[in-house]
Structure 1
Amino acid sequence: MSSIAANLLRPVVICGPSGTGKSTLLKKLFNEFPDKFGFSISHTTRAPRPGEERGVSYHYVSRESFVELVQQDGFIEHAEFSGNMYGTSVKSVEDVKQGGKMCILDIDTQGVKLIKANHPHLDPLYVFISPPSLASLKTRLAGRGTESDHSMQARLAAAVGELEYAKSGAFDVVVVNDDLERAYAKLRRVVVDRDLEAGDQLPDFAAEQ
């Protein structure tokens, strides 16, 4: 495989605070390029639900097998919800690449740190989706109508931590989602065309804190 082709198949890690519109941006990307991107199939310890297929919906494994893979550093990131474990394995990302597609991962900063520390050979392109300001992020979160005062403060505190991490230069490109169409055009150029100069400067949030 040529170095150009290999570069185009590098996984892409999308990261950013909750409420920045990551899901909306990625949905637009997948809708426009349905054959270009691949999803890594996650592992889980829960049982299949009606209509789900093994090896398609999830890789269903026992808790023992899951824990064993954790101990082998086989996961890029993993977590436990409602007594069930979920994780993105290194192999699942490699499988997407071997299939000739680009794997996009939407993970938090903790996941980014785990990749950098334990799986540098994956060599992903790190893209940070930033709000234009903390005030705008608060407005977006409030607009959902699903946040209590406590959860709003928790999400904003988490956002400050993620923005501080982004300030450290951990990401290859920053895209500021101040306008959806403008931000999508930027993300498209970065992810599809690999124009790493198409990104934005990270806003200075210090004055708002």
Structure 2
Amino acid sequence: MSDTRGLLIVLSGPSGVGKGTVRAAIFKNNIYNYVYSVSATTRQMRPGEVDGVDYYFTSREEFEELIEEDALLEHAEYVGNYYGTPIRAIEDNLSKGHDVFLEIEVQGAMKVRERMPDGIFIFLAPPNLNELESRITGRGTDNQEIIYERMQKAREEIDMMKHYDYVVVNDEVDCAVNKVNGIIQSEHLKVSRVVDQIKLQIHNYFQKGE
């Protein structure tokens, strides 16, 4: 599909919902050859994370330089840390026909929607708020004050799901992965995405016979 622009897929949802876990499971096999867009952040690296794979971990000063250079598709400050999406690699991959996969916070996703409204926006929701709090607490990386902030923010973010195209409840990771993959592949089959290719094939067929 090198002659067709790829899809921008935005997976988003409240902190602690399991965005990273679902994304990692999708890319473990990556049967559809998505390209993962690595975001930049100023937050501290968590155990098991790898710089340049999970995030580009930068200083606050380095991040603010990226903002000044307009090198980010979006950026947001969340619970005292910056998060942002470098734009150049995204555009390069989309133009080559690759589907580009973003895993970002809700605030950032809304900014991407403003700049690239043709993207596919998927909201990953928790089964319930008790489960969400349990997941955040289970990380063991946040104190009670931060956990409270994240839960308050989650309530606001869940209300934002109305601005997304799809909602996937992350009750079981494998199930969520199958649903996300199914959404993306269904989008590729939309008439609006394939009609011009089919028309061109028909045109070329009859031109050949003249």
- Which residue of the other structure, out of 87, 93, 109, is the alignment partner of 1:90? 87
Cα distance, 1:116–1:42 mapped onto 2, change above 3 Å: closer
Is residue 2:129 matched to residue 1:157? no
Counterpart of 1:109? Answer: 106
8 Å CA contact 1:25–1:184 kept in 2: the answer is yes
Query: What is the identity, as a one-letter code, of the residue corresponding to 1:33?
Result: N
Query: What is the identity, as a one-letter code, of the residue corresponding to 1:120?
Result: M
Cα distance, 1:93–1:179 mapped onto 2, change above 3 Å: same
Measure the CA separation in 1 of the matches of 2:112 and 2:169. 23
8 Å CA contact 2:15–2:105 kept in 1: the answer is no
Displacement of 1:90 after TM fit?
3.1
8 Å CA contact 1:40–1:88 kept in 2: the answer is yes
User: TM-score normalized by structure 2?
Assistant: 0.67
Secondary structure of 1:194's partner?
A: helix
Looking at secondary structure, tell me which structure has more helix per residue: 2
Cα distance, 1:30–1:132 mapped onto 2, change above 3 Å: same
> What are the within-5 Å matches in structure 2 for residues 52-91 of structure 1?
66-70=66-70, 74-78=71-75, 87-91=84-88
Measure the CA separation in 2 of the matches of 1:154 and 1:39. 29
Is residue 2:164 matched to residue 1:171? yes
Counterpart of 2:130? Answer: 135
Residue deviations 1:36-92 (CA, integer Å, cap 9, x gap): 111336679xxxxxxx99xxx97x9x969634433xxx52223689xx987423332
Percentage of matched positions with identical amino acids: 32
Is residue 2:176 matched to residue 1:180? no
State how many pairs are aligned. Answer: 173
Measure the CA separation in 2 of the matches of 1:129 and 1:153. 20
Larger Rg: 2
Cα distance, 1:182–1:39 mapped onto 2, change above 3 Å: closer
Displacement of 1:128 after TM fit?
0.4
Displacement of 1:156 after TM fit?
0.4
Segments of structure 1 that go 5 or more residues without pairing to the other structure are 45-51, 197-209
Cα distance, 1:140–1:89 mapped onto 2, change above 3 Å: closer
Measure the CA separation in 2 of the matches of 1:159 and 1:36. 31
Counterpart of 1:36? Answer: 33
Measure the CA separation in 2 of the matches of 1:151 and 1:86. 17
Query: What is the identity, as a one-letter code, of the residue corresponding to 2:136?
Result: L
Secondary structure of 1:36's partner?
A: coil
Cα distance, 1:43–1:142 mapped onto 2, change above 3 Å: closer
8 Å CA contact 1:18–1:155 kept in 2: the answer is yes
Measure the CA separation in 2 of the matches of 1:28 and 1:43. 21
Displacement of 1:16 after TM fit?
0.6
Segments of structure 2 that go 5 or more residues without pairing to the other structure are 42-50, 190-210
Measure the CA separation in 1 of the matches of 2:132 and 2:77. 27
Displacement of 1:144 after TM fit?
2.0
Counterpart of 2:200? Answer: none
